[in-house]
Amino acid sequence: MARIIAGVGTSHTPAIGAAVDNGKTAEPYWAPLFAGYQPAREWMARTRPDVVIMVYNDHVNAFDFKIIPTFALGCAEDFPIADEGWGARPVPPVRGYPELAAHLVQSLVLDEFDMTIVNEMQVDHGLTVPLTLLCGTPQAWPCRVIPLAVNVIQYPAPTGHRCYMLGQAIRKAVASWHEELKVVIFGTGGMSHQIQGPRAGLVNPQFDRVFLDGLSRDPERLVRIQPLEYLRDAGAEAIELVMWLIMRGALGERVQEVYRFYHIPASSTAVGNIILESR
């Protein structure tokens, strides 16, 4: 059977992708960040998952405002890279896993998570930057990817509690798939940041540390964080962190933290990375 063996939490700041694409990773601004991700890249290369479930959000690229799905599961064979307004990132196309994605939809809907099914979708930096951070710059991505896009742009985003329960249902769904597959789930976005209005630039390292600790040791505390707390304490865009709770919910009760990295800034963002292995 297929198994979710680990979870990765990581920011997906677009400027990180641009730094890689434009050869700036050795510049003083960026070098500490990429050095900090090196152990995560090595972990990924050792772990060699067959499939990544990528929990991320679209940034007005695949979806405009005509339709705003709260949870959208990518069921396509391939996901082209979006042109977000400055040309598509020069990264390989993303290969999906339609058979497993269809199984996830079947299982999740019967488990009362009413997923939106997406059969054609471009993917933006929310999905490609985490792949770049963990996989580097290969000719082809080393695994198949099932995108799970979450609305965190128009309030209200789904609650942390709902996200955590969705993660639990994903764990169950993956475990009932017949192939022997190693699956790693990513929760992306965050950490604390605000990128709009006179309060732009707000970050909160204390909030982020408590969040990272909670992922490791007390996730049920994190699911009780209310949307307003994210807004007030960690910035308008910190609500993206609910996506990390889908990842955490999918790991089962016991986890082992194998890596953590934290860095300010990437553009306007406090960057966090955590790797949790399911025990």
Residues contributing to the site for another protein (CB under 8 A):
14-15, 29, 59-61, 64-66, 82-86, 153-156, 159, 161, 164-165, 168, 194-205, 207, 220, 223-224, 226-228, 231-236, 264-265, 267-268, 270
What's the min distance (Å) between Cβ of 34 and another protein? 17
The SS3 assignment for 254 reads: coil
Of the two residues 64 and 180, which places its CB atom closer to another protein in the complex?
64
Considering only CA atoms, which of 14, 60, 11 is closest in space to residue 36?
Answer: 11
Closest distance of CB 86 from another protein, Å = 5
Nearer to another protein, 138 or 156 (CB): 156
Tokens encoding 101:
């994605």
Q: Is 150 exposed, middle or buried (0-12, 13-18, 19+ CB in 10 A)?
A: buried
- Nearest-angstrom CA–CA distance, 52 and 94: 11
Task: Give catalytic residues, as residue numbers.
Answer: 125, 193
* CA–CA distance, 164 with 223 (Å, rounded to integer): 7
Least separation in angstroms between residue 214's CB and another protein is 14
Rounded CA separation 123/118 (Å): 12
Nearer to another protein (CB atom), residue 91 or residue 222: 222
Report, in Å, the least distance between residue 148 CB and another protein: 19
Pick 52 or 247: Cβ nearer another protein: 247
Strands 182-188 and 3-10: parallel
